Amino acid sequence: MPDDLEIARRARLRPIAEIAAMAGIPAEALEPYGRFKAKIGFDFIESLANREDGALVLVTGINPTAAGEGKTTTGIGLVDALNAIGRPAILCLREPSLGPCFGVKGGATGGGRAQIAPMEEINLHFTGDFHAITAANNLLATMLDNHLHYGNALGLDARRILWRRALDVNDRSLRATVIALGGNGPVREDGFDITAASEVMALFCLARDLPDLEARLARVVVAERRDGSMVTARDLHADGAMAALLRDALMPNLVQTLEGSPALVHGGPFANIAHGCNSVMATRLGLKLAPIVVTEAGFGADLGAEKFFDIKCRLAGLTPAVAVVVTTVRALKLHGGAAKRALETEDVGAVERGIANLARHVENVKKFGVPVLVALNSFTSDTAAEIGAVKRAMAARAVETALCTHWADGAAGAAGLARAVVARLEEGGTRFAPLYPDDLPLAEKIRVVAREIYHASDIEIPPAVARRLASFEAAGFAKVPVCIAKTQYSFSADPTRLGAPEGHVLPIRAVRLSAGAGFVVTLAGEILTMPGLPRVPAAEQIGLGPDGRVSGLF
């Protein structure tokens, strides 16, 4: 059987101008990057301002497992299926980070017949957006240290430097560093976050347009003075140069699925340590171009979907119409206690026990007032009894389950899901509202998410962290949402607690103010903002074949 890369190479991609025309984008609005990808100009985007919005469909999932769930492939298959049944749709996805590509996960462009393309280019450098974000982040860091070197006229407290450098690879050795050795300025501790977890990535993805991007960059807090007052990128006169680096990157990217559906792929924050959604620019553009927009939020619904609803939709004024929760029989078995080596063997009992995880996510999404469907991403090892157990459990909760085979069958394999989505859209009935109000204290916002979404009994906030939250509120950031960074593998902060644990206490280790993005980041448990490579990284299998083509990128 051909692998994902070979399937992608055999597909006949259409010139990007043809894909644009399908979406109603004129050729003069494109900034082409080769034959099969392009950016879309700001003037055209602004010309659509008065056009009515389409319906927004979110694809989310259960807590991820080693068996895989397939949210990205499901989103791609759903858009292809919607277009195939005559319901025009556009896909909005995040750009892949090099960290997972070279780490554990490999590429992030889907799989089988449900892929976006050109696969190698999207997974590697694409249109350079990640590089621009990394450069803007590190320019600010450099200008901050340059300011210290030349006398520190702003009176920054060297013990309260908050801004960290960024790099788009997994490098645990850079989590904590010491800089300026050798007489090159004030020696101090520093560190790196992965680009996908940086505040520049977050504010980039939440910006509505160039002026909003510039305003967000100006608000970024880089340090504090001894009296606790904040120093911003604007104070360092760095925001203009950062905006210049990000200008072209802010234009959304257009590519296609293997079946020729338009796909806007833009921005790439992680969902475990950031807010996990593609850019507001791309989503709002998609809603102007198509009657249906399908987007994805990273990892499980406890992280990606919660942040999509409570951060992105709140700040961008979006109203999701339907949510699809993706699961697999294999993943449910793992949540039900089955061993990974036994996933090919029928085990209805393990499936039934693992359904607790799926049911928790479904009920959580309902708390936001959004209609829910379940997409059961099928594997050949699934049995009728196992599939039946999932369908019965969801039917008991008045939730429809669509069996999907889009990896193998493309659009035809997601036709049932597409029809179910259309039926929900025609029924209407969304009563979307964020989980908590703006004026709730920051600690209480964290507590609401912990109790309502993670089913924790409470949160544990050390006194120093509580004082930090109070300082954010005193500085005028009391009404912003919270972005909880937590392990993706469990509802708790313990990645080994699978299924649907409850009654646990969520430990809050630290908090960070992302003033430019407009939220407070909460680090829960042993979560890290710079991942490390595994013992055998995916990078060891990636290279060039005799024909000069990339190999091993899956």
Range list of H helices, 428-487: 442-452, 463-472
How far is residue 168's CA from residue 97's CA, in Å, rounded to a whole number? 7
Q: Is 327 a catalytic residue?
A: no
Count CB atoms within 10 A of the CB of residue 77: 36
Catalytic: which of 102, 130, 308, 407? Answer: 407
Q: Is 73 a catalytic residue?
A: yes
Q: Is 94 a catalytic residue?
A: yes
Catalytic: which of 105, 366, 419, 468? Answer: 105
How far is residue 298's CA from residue 23's CA, in Å, rounded to a whole number? 25
Phi and psi of 544, rounded to 5°? -115, 135
Cross-strand pairs, 263: 91, 255
Looking only at the bridges linking them, the beta strands covering 221-225 and 230-232 are antiparallel
Nearest alpha-carbon partner for 248 in 27, 20, 31: 31
- Sole residue written with tokens 């340059």: 146
Catalytic: which of 71, 312, 424, 447? Answer: 71
- Under the phi-then-psi rule, with left for phi > 0, alpha for psi from -120 to 50, and beta for the rest, what region is 148? alpha
Nearest alpha-carbon partner for 276 in 421, 64, 90, 119: 64
Catalytic: which of 271, 331, 389, 402? Answer: 271
CA 308 from chain center: how many Å?
A: 9
Phi and psi of 473, rounded to 5°? -65, -40
Phi and psi of 462, rounded to 5°? -60, 155
Nearest alpha-carbon partner for 313 in 475, 544, 481: 481
Catalytic: which of 60, 73, 405, 487? Answer: 73
Catalytic: which of 37, 39, 87, 94? Answer: 94
The tokens of 407 are what?
Answer: 């990896």
Nearest alpha-carbon partner for 57 in 406, 436, 373: 373
How far is residue 209's CA from residue 48's CA, in Å, rounded to a whole number? 13
Q: Is 379 a catalytic residue?
A: yes
How far is residue 461's CA from residue 254's CA, in Å, rounded to a whole number? 43
Integer angstrom CA distances of residue 530 from 272, 349, 526: 12, 38, 12
Cis amide linkage into residue 118, ω under 30° from 0: yes
Q: Is 44 a catalytic residue?
A: no
Catalytic: which of 36, 102, 192, 379? Answer: 379
How far is residue 306's CA from residue 366's CA, in Å, rounded to a whole number? 11
Catalytic: which of 299, 308, 368, 477? Answer: 299
Q: Is 407 a catalytic residue?
A: yes
Tell me which DSSP letter residue 94 carries. Answer: P
Tell me which DSSP letter residue 25 carries. Answer: -
Q: Is 204 a catalytic residue?
A: no
Q: Which residues belong to the active site?
A: 71, 73, 94, 105, 271, 299, 379, 407
